[in-house]
Structure 1
Amino acid sequence: MSVKHALLTLLDRGPMHGYQLRTEFEASTGATWPLNIGQVYSTLARLERDGLVVPAEGGDESQRLYAITEAGHDEVAAWFATPVAGEPARNEVTIKLAFAAGTPGLDVAEVVQIQRRATMKALQDYTRARERAGTDLAWQLVADSLIFAAEAEVRWLDHCEAKLARAAALRSGPRPASQVPSAPAERSGSRR
């Protein structure tokens, strides 16, 4: 997530101070990604250093207003015109399951189930949040993204579970003929 670009986009709407930026950021994302005020001010300092924002006139003495520069406008336009790189993010669930699969004596299927329960709860929470979003388009889009990501994670966990079952079946080897289920007996009579 680009806090830098999000803050620049908010400043493109008009001058704001750090607390306003934090409040607007959290309102735009439905408070899904809480933003530390220290991160806001350290980002503003870098933006000022890079010539993308400047101190603005107005406001009270206790809170410094910032305004976007022409270079900042150009940075926002470039951000919106550039697709997000398709680099895979470090997903802790993926890493956890990859390491769990190689850990002797660990019930990886249970690790999958623990994650599935947590993801299903998150999915329910995101669905309720989307309903509360009302007509707020920004929050609807964020909630939809979270819902789709959670649904994808559930599908991936289903896939992991199936792979684990196949791997367990291969490890146990072929079953003796006495344990292989026989074909169901045909019913008498014919079907037409």
Structure 2
Amino acid sequence: MSIRHGLLALLSSEPRYGYQLRVEFEASTGATWPLNIGQVYTTLTRLERDGLVAPGGADEQGRAVYMITEAGREELERWFSTPVDHSDRPRDELVIKIAMAVAATDVDVGEVILAQRMATMRTLQDLTRAKRAVGDGLAQRLVLESMIFKAEAEQRWLDHCEAVVKEKNA
């Protein structure tokens, strides 16, 4: 998810100021994607330049408020209706690490897999605790469940890697 589209999504319901956008973005993503306030204002400046948001005056405390424009709503609708292209995702460092461990002659692939399995299990436990603590936050719950499913899938993939490496070495 781009910060740009996340901010547009938040602005689609009502005008907001920068710090409010940062707090609500982090709350919506279960604080899994922390934002620097500078990123928020840089992104707002670009969105304004591109005609997707406009200044909405100031709130009662004098903070600059931004509102989504019609072009911003169209951009947001386009983003929501376009599936995520998996080829656009960044490289997976774990996949590369395991592949390089297999290719290297002096690396114990089993140890690399075990170290990752233990780290992934800790992450899974932390995520499960965080999910229990969320309460009624639906957006946060969905983000955490996505991360849990990915960690579980990683565990299964590590099991598969271990089995394939054992089979090859047998």
Q: Which residue of 1 aligns with 2:121?
A: 120
Distance (Å, rounded) in 2 between the aligned partners of 1:6 and 1:34: 12
Q: Which residue of 2 aligns with 1:23?
A: 23
Distance (Å, rounded) in 1 between the aligned partners of 2:35 and 2:2: 12
Post-superposition Cα deviations, 1:29-85, rounded to whole Å, max 9, x if no partner, equal: 111111111211111111111100111112244x32111100001111111111111
In structure 2, stretches of 5+ residues that fail to align are: none
**Which secondary structure does the structure 1 equivalent of 2:58 belong to?**
coil
Give the C-alpha shift of residue 118 in structure 1: 0.5
Q: What is the aligned length?
A: 168
Q: Which residue of 2 aligns with 1:185?
A: none
Q: Which residue of 1 aligns with 2:134?
A: 133
Q: How is 1:92-131 mapped onto 2 (pairs within 5 angstroms)?
A: 92-131=93-132
Letter paired with 1:110: E
Question: TM-score, length-normalised on structure 2?
Answer: 0.94
Distance (Å, rounded) in 2 between the aligned partners of 1:27 and 1:74: 25
Give the C-alpha shift of residue 92 in structure 1: 1.1
Letter paired with 2:164: K
Post-superposition Cα deviations, 1:113-155, rounded to whole Å, max 9, x if no partner, equal: 1000000011011111111111211111001100100000000
Distance (Å, rounded) in 1 between the aligned partners of 2:104 and 2:49: 48
Question: TM-score, length-normalised on structure 1?
Answer: 0.84
Give the C-alpha shift of residue 89 in structure 1: 3.6
Mapped pair 1:74 → 2:37: no
Give the C-alpha shift of residue 86 in structure 1: 2.5
**Which secondary structure does the structure 2 equivalent of 1:57 belong to?**
strand
Distance (Å, rounded) in 2 between the aligned partners of 1:58 and 1:18: 11
Distance (Å, rounded) in 1 between the aligned partners of 2:4 and 2:81: 16
In structure 1, stretches of 5+ residues that fail to align are: 170-192
Q: Which residue of 2 aligns with 1:182?
A: none
Distance (Å, rounded) in 2 between the aligned partners of 1:153 and 1:95: 14
Q: Which residue of 1 aligns with 2:34?
A: 34
Mapped pair 1:145 → 2:146: yes
Percent identical: 57
- Following TM superposition, the consecutive aligned residue runs of length 4 or more in structure 1 with deviations greater than 3 angstroms are none
Highest Rg: 1 or 2?
A: 1
Letter paired with 1:51: G
Give the C-alpha shift of residue 26 in structure 1: 0.5
Give the C-alpha shift of residue 6 in structure 1: 0.5
Q: Which residue of 2 aligns with 1:154?
A: 155
Mapped pair 1:44 → 2:16: no
